[in-house]
């Protein structure tokens, strides 16, 4: 796991070594073990290495035998040994045991189609010296990030946006449509970012740069939901266990210590249960909880799983003070805000993991493949409500659902989504910060002309989807938007901030291909989601971990915003700086803040979205970004010790 930057100039000019050095320096956290550079007419590569596989010989940039093809690469190819055997049969000769060299030889053998041979997570740049071209690509579902932009006469690429800012001509300007998109979705969807002119290469896409032609992303992988795989429940259960076991086994490939992040939810608990069976020593697990009252901490469930699986378990407990201390670092490491509050505890728990391991397995992907969110089960009801006559629907929602007490907040989310007959607007509203008329009332003169941008990513994804059934269309949108641009981006940025590699066994290629074609009845049944994974979990885990309401990784922002974070919230959002941008209607913004502080409504999700957006603008646009202060770890709590 590493970080890289690349530069391509179609005129053949040699990039300045100082550009590449600055780019590498900005992402040192992604690879503290080593660095390397290639700088020659037309191209440059910069690399930072976190040594995990072939520790002694995996230096990058790496070339083929005669030095004509060079690569800088971030990721892991789990099937590289099998691909290597095929390449050696074609006559290719290896100098190392690294998966990096397999990518180089695969490119020599199959060209752009080499990406179709890889099972893993990756983003890379290949410099083909004889053809004077650069080939860049990103894995199927976007586990690893890849950004790119125009930089004077050439093009720059990198694992993080901050690396691109090291190249000349790359500006720091907000993309106004992206601000509205962020207010709606709480992230910015590929191919765009919040920076004008800086793009994300979408998952499953590649770019070929040659002959001075403007690069156009090419899609090399598309989710397929047909033909259906028909099987009974017992056969499906056996199949998912076999496939997930194979995936976890492949993800244990490492020459350095590894462990797992254990939230106490079904997905991460399943990964830990299978991992524990495959290892010949106790797995190391790491969990995080919160020092707030109410149903926020899942530590008791994580402890139950750790005890059941006999892991070497470690915990931290995070409070509002930890969030205040680490918020500047969060803003710096994320480049653009992903308004997912779980980023802070993820950052802290991976810092804890770094003390004893370099690799962690995580549970991302289960909800998006197997329909684990409540919205997947209740969307048919929201759709029916949306199609009621307005004179019936609006009073029911405005004077009924909206005024329910806080404990009915999930029903309020259903009510908000049910306002939209338009599929893109309705699906985008499920996890939204602001949607519909509430968003329109908030937007000030600078943003109001772009009010329709919020749901546009869903409109594009749905128009381009191969899925036909309603559930499949929801899952397809989640797989292509929410998963890569929010969850995986959060995990990559926060784990790499700690110099830890995070791996996601539930997003293994064979498992993805199979899960997408499984019949909907194995995913949703009545109001229960993730039916098949829960059946497997009941087989491998304590039932009390499985048969409980889904909590999710819920950070207690609601009480914190009314207490320890109250001053930060009010002083930031109601400041002349924020109000003076022209982004918001001041009265609407004040009302949102005051509604929450007075306890009239839980607006913590919306407030976190606004807060992180404003802090991003101050750190990245208003001034030249600077690395935040060093991390100070919270107290480490061992399993079985008092917390």
| pLDDT tens digits, one per residue of 64-103 | 999 999 999 999 999 999 999 999 999 999 998 899 999 9
Q: Report the C-alpha gap between 288 and 225 in whole angstroms.
A: 36
Indicate if 25 and 157 belong to the same structural domain: yes
- From 170, 195, 225, give the residue that closes a domain: 170
| Distance, CA of 451 to CA of 184 (rounded, Å) | 10
Note the pLDDT of residue 50.
82
Q: Flag whether 452 is in a domain.
A: no
Determine the Cα–Cα distance for residues 84 and 97; give it in Å rounded to an integer. Answer: 9
617 lies in some domain: no
Whole-model pTM?
0.93
With CA atoms as reference, report the closest residue to 43 among 17, 75, 74, 73: 17
The pLDDT assigned to 378 comes to: 86
pLDDT at 382: 82
CA-angle at 17, arms to 13 and 22, nearest 5°: 125
Q: Tell me what the mean pLDDT of segment 419-442 comes to.
A: 89
Question: How does pLDDT run across 275-308, given as a tens digit for each residue?
Answer: 999 999 999 999 999 987 766 778 999 999 999 9
Q: Are residues 349 and 254 in the same domain?
A: yes
pLDDT, one tens digit per residue, over 603-627 is 999 999 999 999 999 999 998 887 7
Contact at 8 Å (CB) between 188 and 172? Answer: no
pLDDT at 522: 97
Contact 175, 187 (CB under 8 A): no
Confirm whether 618 is domain-assigned. no
Q: Is the separation of the CB atoms in 327 and 349 below 8 Å?
A: no
Give the domain extent around 249. Answer: 233-370+491-546
Strand partners, 290: 318
CA 323 – CA 557 distance, rounded (Å):
10
What pLDDT does residue 57 have?
58
- 146 and 6 inside one domain: yes
Which residue from 438, 437, 414 is spatially nearest to 426, judged by alpha carbons? 414
Domain termination site, one of 153, 170, 187: 170
**Residue 106 corresponds to which tokens in the numbers above?**
């695969």
Question: Cβ(6)–Cβ(43) under 8 Å?
Answer: yes
Same domain for 281 and 140: no
Average pLDDT over residues 55-67: 82
- State whether 158 and 240 are in the same domain: no
Residue 189: inside a domain: no
Q: Given the structure tokens 């397999």, which residue do they identify?
A: 102
Instruction: Give CA separation, 502 vs 328, 371, 460, 552, 604, in Å.
Output: 22, 23, 30, 19, 28
| 147 and 248 co-located in one domain | no
Which of 40-49, 339-348, 396-405 holds the top average pLDDT? Answer: 40-49
95 CB-near residues (< 8 Å, 6+ apart) = 57, 65, 101
b/e sequence 366-401, b meaning 16+ C-beta within 10 Å = bbbbbbbbbbbbbbeebbebbeeeeeebeeebeeeb
pLDDT at 121: 97
Is residue 73 helix, strand or coil?
strand
First to last CA, the chain: 33
Co-location of 267 and 151 in the same domain: no
- Among 494, 147, 477, smallest CA distance to 340 is for 494
Give residues with Cβ within 8 angstroms of 198, minimum separation 6.
147, 148, 149, 161, 164, 170
Residue 437 forms part of a structural domain: no
Residue 457 lies in a domain: no
Alpha helices, H only, 28-79: none
pLDDT mean across residues, the chain: 90
Q: Are residue 166 and residue 310 in the same domain, yes or no? A: no
Least confident residue range of 210-214, 346-350, 454-458, 551-555? 551-555
Residues 150 and 29 in one domain: yes
Query: Residue 642: its pLDDT value, please?
Result: 30
> Cα separation of 523 and 369, whole Å?
9
Q: Which residues are catalytic?
A: 2
- In a shared domain, residues 124 and 6: yes
Mean of the pLDDT values across residues 157-174? 96
CATH number at residue 28: 3.60.20.10
Measured between alpha carbons, how far is 315 from 306 in angstroms, rounded to an integer? 11
- The total number of structural domains in the chain stands at 2
Give the CATH number, domain containing residue 347: 3.40.50.620
CA distance 113 to 256: 31
Q: Which residue's entry shows tokens 């802290």?
A: 348
Q: Both tokens of residue 595?
A: 């509604």
**Residue after which a domain boundary falls, among 170, 190, 221:** 170
User: Is 436 among the domain residues?
Assistant: no
Residue 537 pLDDT grade (very low, low, confident, very high; cuts 50, 70, 90):
very high
Residues 224 and 326 sit within 8 Å (Cβ to Cβ): no
Q: Which residue has the tokens 């995913």?
A: 523
Which region among 9-18, 47-56, 368-377, 424-433 has the lowest average model confidence (pLDDT)? 47-56
Do 9 and 134 share a domain, yes or no?
yes
- Give CA–CA dist 588/125, Å, rounded: 46
Q: Is the domain of 12 the same as that of 136?
A: yes
348 in a domain, yes or no? yes
pLDDT at position 595 over 90: yes
Identify whether the C-beta of residue 66 lies closer than 8 Å to the C-beta of residue 48: no
Closest-CA residue to 553 (of 325, 254, 266): 266
């Amino acid at each position: 796991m590493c970080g890289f930057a690349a530069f391509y100039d179609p005129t053949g000019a040699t990039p300045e070594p100082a550009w590449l050095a600055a780019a590498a320096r900005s992402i040192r956290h992604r690879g503290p073990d080593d660095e390397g550079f290639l700088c020659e007419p037309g191209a440059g590569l910069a690399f930072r290495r976190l040594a995990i596989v072939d520790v002694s010989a995996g230096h990058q940039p790496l070339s083929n035998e005669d030095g004509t093809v060079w690569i800088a690469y971030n990721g892991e190819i789990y099937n590289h040994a099998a691909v290597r055997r095929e390449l050696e049969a074609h006559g290719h000769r290896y100098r190392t045991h690294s998966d990096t060299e397999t990518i180089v030889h695969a490119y020599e053998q199959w060209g752009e189609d080499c990406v179709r041979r890889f099972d893993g997570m990756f983003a890379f740049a290949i410099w083909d010296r004889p053809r004077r071209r650069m080939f860049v690509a990103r894995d199927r579902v976007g586990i690893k990030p890849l950004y790119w932009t125009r930089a004077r006469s050439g093009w720059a690429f990198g694992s993080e946006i901050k690396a691109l800012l090291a190249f000349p001509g790359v500006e720091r300007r907000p993309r106004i449509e992206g601000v509205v998109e962020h207010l709606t979705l709480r992230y910015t969807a590929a191919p765009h970012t919040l920076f004008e002119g800086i793009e994300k290469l979408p998952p499953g896409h590649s770019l070929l740069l040659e002959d001075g032609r403007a690069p156009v992303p090419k899609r090399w992988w598309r989710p397929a939901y047909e033909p259906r795989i028909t099987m009974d429940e017992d056969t499906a259960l056996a199949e998912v266990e076999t496939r997930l076991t194979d995936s976890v086994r492949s993800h244990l490939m490492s020459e350095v210590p590894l462990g797992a992040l254990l939230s106490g939810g079904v997905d991460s608990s399943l990964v830990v249960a299978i991992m524990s069976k495959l290892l010949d020593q106790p797995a190391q697990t790491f969990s995080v909880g919160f020092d707030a009252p109410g149903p926020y901490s899942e530590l008791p469930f994580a402890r139950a799983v750790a005890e059941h699986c006999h892991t070497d378990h470690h915990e931290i407990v995070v409070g509002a003070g930890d969030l205040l201390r680490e918020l500047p670092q969060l803003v710096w490491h994320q480049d653009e805000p992903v308004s997912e509050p779980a980023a802070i505890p993820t950052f802290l728990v991976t810092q804890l993991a770094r003390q004893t391991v370099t690799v962690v397995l995580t549970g991302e992907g289960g909800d998006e493949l197997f329909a684990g969110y409540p919205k997947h089960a209740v969307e048919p009801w929201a759709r029916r409500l949306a199609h009621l006559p307005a004179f019936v629907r609006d009073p029911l929602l405005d004077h009924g659902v909206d005024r329910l007490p806080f404990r009915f907040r999930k029903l309020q989310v259903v009510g908000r989504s049910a306002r939209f007959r338009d599929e893109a607007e309705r699906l985008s509203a499920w996890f939204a910060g602001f949607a519909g008329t509430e968003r329109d009332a908030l937007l000030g003169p600078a943003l109001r002309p772009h009010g329709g941008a919020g749901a546009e990513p869903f409109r594009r994804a749905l128009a381009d989807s191969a899925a036909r059934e309603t559930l499949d269309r929801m899952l397809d949108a989640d797989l292509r938007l929410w998963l890569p641009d929010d969850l995986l981006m959060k995990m990559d940025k926060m784990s790499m901030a700690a110099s830890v590699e995070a791996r996601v066994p539930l997003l293994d290629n064979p498992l993805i291909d199979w899960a997408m074609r499984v019949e909907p009845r194995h995913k949703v049944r009545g109001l229960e989601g993730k039916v098949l994974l829960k059946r497997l979990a009941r087989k491998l885990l304590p039932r009390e971990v499985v048969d409980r309401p889904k909590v999710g990784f819920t950070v207690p922002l609601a009480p914190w915003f009314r207490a320890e974070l109250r001053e930060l919230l009010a002083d930031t959002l109601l400041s002349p700086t924020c109000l003076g941008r022209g982004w918001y209607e001041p009265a609407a913004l004040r009302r949102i803040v005051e509604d929450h502080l007075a306890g009239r409504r839980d607006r913590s999700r919306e407030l976190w979205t606004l807060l992180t957006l404003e802090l991003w603008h101050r750190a990245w646009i208003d001034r030249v970004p600077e690395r935040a202060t060093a991390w100070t770890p919270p107290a480490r709590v061992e399993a079985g010790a008092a917390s």
